[in-house]
Amino acid sequence: MNKIEEIIKEFPFQIILGSNSPRRHELLTSLGFKFLNKPINADESYPIDLLAEEIPLYLAEKKADAYEDELKDNEILITADTIVWCEGKVFNKPANFVEGKLMLETLSGKMHEVYTGVCLKSGNKQTTFYDVSKVYFKKLKPEEIEYYLINFSPYDKAGGYGVQDWLGYIGIDKIEGSFYNVMGLPVKELFEELVKF
């Protein structure tokens, strides 16, 4: 058994993923760790004076605080939040077709940043971190935006799109930083933080 295999198989904590996101579930599974999935339904409001990475860090901690069971010292709860940030404004999940269309029209032809904040919490310790990626969209045609919103219903995704689905395939010119961070979990940083924890 090599060192990495040993770290993953003999990891001394029970990992709990507090998320409804199938993408976060998929990414954590791909890291190799065994975990329990216990989605947390937390209020996702935040103070209006928060900017950029401050928002997902605040929300990741808020979700951790909303976890209903008492954490033991040998349990680690992982919570996360992802936002899209463009021209000094936050783009959360669109509520409907009109809002999604407006978001994608705004992001079209521009660079935006995707921030994911992560909170790791046990019975006696807590740490937070974030990652940021720059995403460059081509100029999207109105028919591309409409086709995407009608056929892919991306209403559970920050910014109204998924990097790993149709609009990501045809609309993204380049990404600076982690692709997986744009999906919703900075897995490289998460692995490093879990090993340190």
Bigger pLDDT: 9 vs 29: 29
pLDDT surpasses 80 at 121: yes
Annotated catalytic residue within 65, 73, 81, 156:
81
- pTM of the complete model: 0.93
- DSSP labels, 38-97: ----------TT--TTHHHHHHHHHHHHT--SPPPTTEEEEEEEEEEEETTEEE---SSH
For 54-74, b/e burial (b = at least 16 CB within 10 A) is: bbbbbbbbbbbeebeeebeee
The total number of structural domains in the chain stands at: 1
- Residue 81 annotated as catalytic: yes
Length of the chain in terms of residues written? 197
The 10s digit of each residue's pLDDT in 39-96 is: 998 999 999 999 999 999 999 999 999 998 889 889 999 999 999 999 999 998 999 9
The 10s digit of each residue's pLDDT in 135-181 is: 999 999 999 999 999 999 899 999 999 999 999 999 999 999 999 99
Identify which of 115, 107, 103 has the alpha carbon closest to the alpha carbon of residue 136: 107
Rounded distance between C-alpha atoms, residue 179 and residue 27, angstroms:
11
11-28: average pLDDT: 93
Bigger pLDDT: 9 vs 86: 86
Q: Which domain holds residue 183?
A: 3-196
pLDDT surpasses 80 at 1: no
Q: Is 108 helix (H, G, I), strand (E, B) or coil?
A: coil
pLDDT surpasses 90 at 104: yes
- CATH number of the domain where residue 64 is located: 3.90.950.10
